[in-house]
Amino acid sequence: MTAYDVNSGDQVHAGDPVIVDRYTRSARINHWITATCLVLLALSGFALFTPGLYFLTALFGGGQWTRAVHPWLGVVLFFSFAGLFLRFWRANLWRSEDGTWLARIRDVLAGHEDRLPEIGKYNAGQKGVFWGMSLLILVLVSSGFVIWDQYFASYTTVDQKRVAVLLHALGAVAMICVWIVHVYAAIWVRGTISAMTRGQVTGGWAWRHHRKWLRELVSGKTDRAG
């Protein structure tokens, strides 16, 4: 039986401590390209959103360059995140234990891991971030095309552009909020950042936070997506 929580690059290495491969090098590069695009899009988007933050255009070579680069960064973000989506969507499917995990969110915040159900590669919070970003990137990219007048001005009406501008702004605010939650959670749970820099975690970390994933990994169940 194939486990949705285990990817082909996941592997356990015996030792003291036990080391677990959580992300392949290509997955980490994919992640950091996406993260870099999000930061650059936020900075250039702020610069274009209000005159009070126009000084941020200096990071991109001025106002004209900022306006030209911003939508292309969105295109790169879309394809980069598409790579992450294809890698990890199966591991982010909702499972029965995720509802229990959410119901016990107070124990999560208090660090009472012993009161929580065994979790796969991602917990309910991480899955929420994944699907939230998936939806918001679609909103941002689709609305961005509508207001990308350099190439698509003749394909949309003024009223459609007005709606798209509003959706783009709201989607951007929501995306930044989701990104902040993602970064805060990565810092809050010790060992998480090292998973996305070195690709590895300790066996103790995996046992404490993602025990179901570790059990499936040790049992030899894998998903072909890597």
Report angle CA 118, 182, 53 to the nearest 5 degrees.
175
Q: What is the mean pLDDT of the chain?
A: 92
pLDDT over 70 (residue 224): no
Who's near 89: CB < 8 A, 6+ residues apart? 130
Q: Strand order in 11-13's β-sheet? A: 11-13, 19-21, 200-202
pLDDT over 80 (residue 134): yes
Please report which confidence band the pLDDT of residue 51 belongs to, taking 50, 70 and 90 as the band edges: very high
| Amino acid at site 136 | L
If you write DSSP's letter for every residue of 143-204 in order, what string do you get?
Answer: HHHHT-HHHHGGGS-HHHHHHHHHHHHHHHHHHHHHHHHHHHHHHHSTTHHHHHHTSEEEHH
Please report which confidence band the pLDDT of residue 16 belongs to, taking 50, 70 and 90 as the band edges: confident
Distance CA 73, CA 68 (A): 9
Q: Which residues are catalytic?
A: 182
Whether residue 181 contacts residue 139, with contact meaning beta carbons closer than 8 Å, is answered with: no
pLDDT in tens, 60-114: 999 999 999 999 999 999 999 999 999 999 999 999 999 999 999 999 888 888 8
Q: Strand pairing of 200-202 and 19-21? A: antiparallel
In sequence order, what E strands does 17-120 have? 19-21
Q: Does domain 25-171 have CATH number 1.20.950.20?
A: yes
Looking at the chain, the number of H-run helices and the number of E-run strands are 10, 3
Please report which confidence band the pLDDT of residue 9 belongs to, taking 50, 70 and 90 as the band edges: confident
